[in-house]
Amino acid sequence: MPSANIQWTDARLPEFAEGAATVGNFDGVHRGHRALVDMAAAWAKRVGGPAVAVTFDPPPYQVLFPTAPPRPPLTTLPERIELLEAAGADWVLVLRTTADLLALSPEAFFQEVLIRQLGAKAVIEGYNFRFGCNRVGNTGTLRSLCSGEEIRFEEVPPFLHEGDPVSSSRVRTALMTGDVARAAAMLGRHYRVCGTVVAGAKRGSTLGFPTANLGAIPTVLPGHGVYAGRAKLEDGTAWPAAINIGPNPTFGESAAKVEVHLIGFTGDLYGRPLAVEFLRRIRDVRAFAGKDDLIAQLKRDVEEAKRSVP
């Protein structure tokens, strides 16, 4: 299942032309996004072409507001591509976000990207889709434009969770408040972060609970707390894990860290990539009266993590 990096000015390539297209940021590739791709795949069979998911890199807000504080995504671009392909996209096109692209009117974006570049025979979008300069185009605009070109258009209704539409912002809010179970329900999978194991204070080893300190994490971190999860190494092996996100107040440390105790693992992980899935939140981060109290709690955390990991 291929992907391609393109500019909006590039010529059409026959491999991804004349199919069913869906366009969006797709950050997180949550269940609502997957419903769009699933519908695009169904329409692709009807029109006899590929199912094409078009996403953007960098995120448009970075181009529109270059001095704004960085906002970590829910997924990296490679993860987004992998998830869109797994959802059923035959092609994932990564459209380079430029000021010129964002300045296109809805009509110009439709003609340049969906008609000239993709030759789309069907277009599938969500109920809240916006496009064109200042996001003035909506599904009504797109429906009218498609009708004028005799292109099939389908508006996909919101995917609801607990009565509200699933969205990337709702997933982000759930994660930042530590509700990883709620985030998983909206994503349709456990939330995962990836990073590289870096050197830490090695205090965990002296307590009997060695931890891998995870650094260089480019995506959203769940809120401070202790979590049950699963750690995966680059060789595909997986270990139940107790994960601490936050400071170490018992030892007077205020800097937030991501510390992963791989239950049952022995070996050196420094410099190795590590992926961590979050299954459920166990407790808050808090200070303990002393080392013995902390060790007793860590034992309870590990047992809770073991029970939480299938």
Known catalytic residues are 259
Residues forming a β-bridge with 257: 246
Paired tokens of 102: 């964002």
Q: Return the axis-axis angle of helices 77-87 and 31-47, rounded to nearest 10°.
A: 50
CA dihedral 6, 74, 30, 98 (to 10 degrees): -30
d(C-alpha 262, C-alpha 249), whole Å: 22
**Structural Rg of the chain based on CA atoms:** 22
Cα–Cα distance, 228 to 4 (Å, whole number): 37
* Beta bridge mates, 51: 20
Angle at 305 between CA 302 and CA 306, to 5 degrees: 90
Non-local (6+) Cβ contacts of 271 within 8 A are 196, 197
Among candidate residues 2, 12, 5, the one with its CA nearest the CA of residue 118:
12
Strand spans (E) along 157-236: 160-161, 164-165, 191-198, 212-215, 225-233
φ, ψ dihedrals at 61, nearest 5°: -65, -30
CA distance 101 to 9: 9
